Amino acid sequence: MDAYDEGSRGPQGPDGPAGTRLPEDSAQPPPPAEAPRPRTGVAALSPGYQVGAALALAVVAVAACVHLLMVFLSLAPANTVTKQHGKAIEEWVYPEFEQNWKLFAPNPLQQNIAVQVRAEVRMRDGGLRTTGWTDLSALDGAAIDGNLAPSHTQQNELRRAWDFFTATHAADNRPVGLRGSLSEQYLRRIVVMRLYRDDPTSREGVIRRVQVRSSTTNVQPPPWSSERISDKPVYRLLPWWSVTADEAAGGVR
């Protein structure tokens, strides 16, 4: 009986009776702690030296910004700041940091120039009527304002025509050089076309003559400036131009 009992138990192993395995110990040893990396640069300094380094960097940054601003003002066109602090700018820049170039070429305009026109119109009943002044530049500005994709004509046609005229005419409106008459013809055709399109009186008759003038107004300085500039417009009045037959008949509409 005892032998039977012992035989029925089966062989004993290190893990217990046959067919039975003791649970393994799942605990793993913790990984070794990673050594802290050594600090470099400003972070390696003590707190007192870190404050000193930060102050030094701030001073260098401010000095660099001031230097760039002074050089910029020395290259920029004359403006309110350079008029008030021109001596300080020159003392900073010259002679060590003198620059032999200009920031803008040509200088940006500091005036608003508007091109205006009026016409003498032969009405259908045979009478002549002179229109009021039509501000073509204001019409272009209104068409551009809020327009995400304004046309090249709206932006440049009238302005370039007026620049062409002033570049080829003296102050007394007499042409200078061979292109003077061409600039007159170009400007006249543009204003006639615009009058037929934008002026109701011109559309009711036939334009016989046109007169162009420019209105120049100075751009006012900022509110914080003590500079005072006249805000009254200055007009340049051109003589009356006769309109050719093809222009009067609408050949440039």
* Residue-level pLDDT at 21: 56
Q: What's the pTM?
A: 0.58
Average pLDDT (118-138) is: 93
Q: Which ranges constitute the DSSP H helices of the chain?
A: 2-9, 47-75, 80-93, 136-144, 152, 158-167, 180-198, 200-204, 245-248
Query: Is the per-residue pLDDT at 207 higher than 70?
Result: yes
Query: Is the per-residue pLDDT at 155 higher than 90?
Result: no
SS3 of 188-225: HHHHHHHHHHHCHHHHHCEEEEEEEEEEEEECCCCCCC
Those residues with Cβ within 8 angstroms of residue 224's Cβ, 6 or more apart along the chain or in another chain: none
* Residue-level pLDDT at 118: 96
Domain ranges of the chain: 45-93, 111-144+151-248
Which of the two residues, 28 and 21, has the higher pLDDT score? 28
CB environment 161-178: b (16+ within 10 A), e (fewer): bbebbbebbeeeeeeeee
CB environment 66-81: b (16+ within 10 A), e (fewer): eeeebbebbebeeeee
**Mean pLDDT over each residue of the chain, to the nearest integer:** 82
* Residue-level pLDDT at 59: 93
Average pLDDT (68-87) is: 84
Which of the two residues, 32 and 185, has the higher pLDDT score? 185
Poorest-confidence range of 44-48, 66-70, 97-101? 97-101
Query: Is the per-residue pLDDT at 238 higher than 50?
Result: yes
* Residue-level pLDDT at 63: 92
Average pLDDT (52-61) is: 90
What tokens does 144 get? Answer: 């551009």
* Residue-level pLDDT at 253: 46
CA dist., res. 237 & res. 16, Å (int): 119
Q: Which of 124, 100, 212, 232 is nearest to 166 (CA)?
A: 212
Query: Is the per-residue pLDDT at 27 higher than 70?
Result: no
